[in-house]
Amino acid sequence: MAIILGIESSCDDTSAAVIADGVICSNIVANQTVHQEYGGVVPELASRAHQQNIIPVVHKALKQAGIAKEDLSAVAFTRGPGLLGSLLVGTSFAKGFSTALDIPLIAVNHLQAHVLAHFIKEDADDESRPNFPFLCLLVSGGNSQIIKVDSYSKMEIMGQTIDDAAGEAFDKCAKVMGLPYPGGPVVDKLAKLGNAHKFKFNKPRIAGYDYSFSGLKTSFLYFLRDELKKDADFIEKNKEDLCASLQKTIVDILMDKLRQAAKDSNINEVAVAGGVSANSGLRASFEDHANRYGWKIHIPKFEYTTDNAAMVAITGYYKYLEGEFTDKSVTPYARTSI
Ligand code: KG4
């Protein structure tokens, strides 16, 4: 049996998970609340919080899984992309732990891990995984990509954002409305109470399968500025409709390109991953596409949408099977592609 400990520390969540032969045994996430008052993640504070969290989180993950550290087959960790100081904490811990236990160390690409989260089994009989090749829409605070997934290790980016990510569009527009950080979940909640057709925002015209969200952010800002001149309470009076209309625009932008990519590549198995995949409007649109275009869709459980170590452990598991181990001299990288 292959038992993998996964470690994730790329941004502001410290997480550890245990996966045995592809089946989830535990997935512990310690969120960092220290950033809330700053309206965004403060890298230095994130690194310090990871240092405080990492040992208790790993301890809890092993305990909940009922696994002794001596039973582990390998330690997998997020090497990047992410915040360098944060990544260093997970990387250093993983190196030390694998050295002490004398077991292999496995470096994992965070973006690849988001995609492979779809292969985490809830139990030994779980067969809900996607079939290759499939398309994966990876949408988070830092990425918006359409990925063609040919195998566990062969992935090709068909299109990606040329500026802001979809999560950033949610967060920045929420900030303009005076909503708390991170704005994505708040917009989602308010959108459920609003009319998505009340306001129209322009969609970008970008060639191919690439995305752009900076124009939407600017037009949203100017629209509010003009309306606030006429009525100082405009945001307060229209908060739900603004959120619903904004969410619809972002979801439509994402789905228009994804639909085109699915059509052109003749692939109808389509997955979504990353923090923004928690969005109820995006999930509803996936369901709608399944009904309308016969897509076979894969939507992750909520706990696997935001940053988590289960996705790192499952990626580590497939690398373990291939014998893809990492030298102990490995260093993290802040930027990298899939
Ligand atoms: O993957 P993730 O946890 O990590 C980063 O890339 O940082 O994604 C976080 C992003 C944030 O921008 C957050 O606002 C967005 O995902 N997000 C949402 C929702 N939940 C999280 N956006 C829209 N609707 C949601 N329900």
Per-residue pLDDT at 95:
98
Which helix (H) or strand (E) segment holds residue 20: the answer is strand 13-20
Q: Residue ranges of the alpha helices (H) in 80-213? A: 84-101, 110-116, 166-176, 183-191
Ligand 1 pocket test: pick from 8, 140, 280 the residue with the most ligand atoms within 8 Å of its Cβ: 140
Backbone angles phi, psi at 161, to 5 degrees: -70, 145
The 8 Å CB, 24+ separation contacts for 32-39 are 35/181, 36/180, 36/181, 39/175, 39/181
In whole angstroms, give the CA distance from residue 143 to residue 123: 30
Ligand 1 contact via 26 beta carbon (within 6 Å): no
Q: Does the Cβ of 304 fall within 6 Å of ligand 1?
A: no
- Decide: 171 in ligand 1 pocket, CB within 6 A: yes
How confident is the model over 48-99, as pLDDT tens digits? 999 999 999 999 999 999 999 999 999 999 999 999 999 999 999 999 999 9
- Look at the chain and count its residues: 338
Q: How confident is the model at residue 337 (pLDDT cuts 50, 70, 90)?
A: confident
CA dist 273 and 113 (Å) reads: 10
Q: Is the pLDDT of residue 188 over 80?
A: yes
Q: Is 184 in the pocket of ligand 1 (CB under 6 A)?
A: yes
CA of residue 184 to ligand 1 center, whole Å: 6
CA distance 234 to 242: 10
Average pLDDT over residues 314-332: 97
Mean pLDDT of 282-307: 96
Cβ 274 under 6 angstroms from ligand 1: yes
Does 32 score more than 90 pLDDT? no
Ligand 1 pocket residue status of 53, Cβ below 6 Å: no
The whole-number average pLDDT for the span 269-278 is 96
DSSP code string of 55-116: HHHHHHHHHHHT--GGG--EEEEEEESS-HHHHHHHHHHHHHHHHHHT--EEEEEHHHHHHH
Q: What is the CA radius of gyration of the chain?
A: 20
| Distance from the alpha carbon of residue 245 to the mean position of ligand 1, in angstroms | 18
Task: Express each pLDDT in 246-268 by its tens digit.
Answer: 999 999 999 999 999 999 999 99
Among 245, 244, 252, which residue's Cα sits nearest to residue 199? 245
Q: Is 306 within 8 Å of 13 (Cβ atoms)?
A: yes
Residue 169's nearest CA partner among 211, 213, 130 is 213
Binned at pLDDT 50, 70 and 90, residue 40 comes out as confident
The Å distance, Cα 13 to ligand 1 centre, comes to: 12
CA 15 – CA 81 distance, rounded (Å): 16
Is 330:79 a contact under the CB 8 Å cutoff? yes
pLDDT digits (tens, 9 = 90+) for 236-251: 999 999 999 999 999 9
Assess contact for 201 and 247: CB atoms under 8 A: no
Least confident segment among 29-33, 145-149, 155-159 = 29-33
Ligand 1 mean position to 37 CA, how many Å?
A: 18
Q: How high is the pLDDT of residue 174?
A: 97
pLDDT at 39 over 80: no
Quote the pTM value. Answer: 0.94
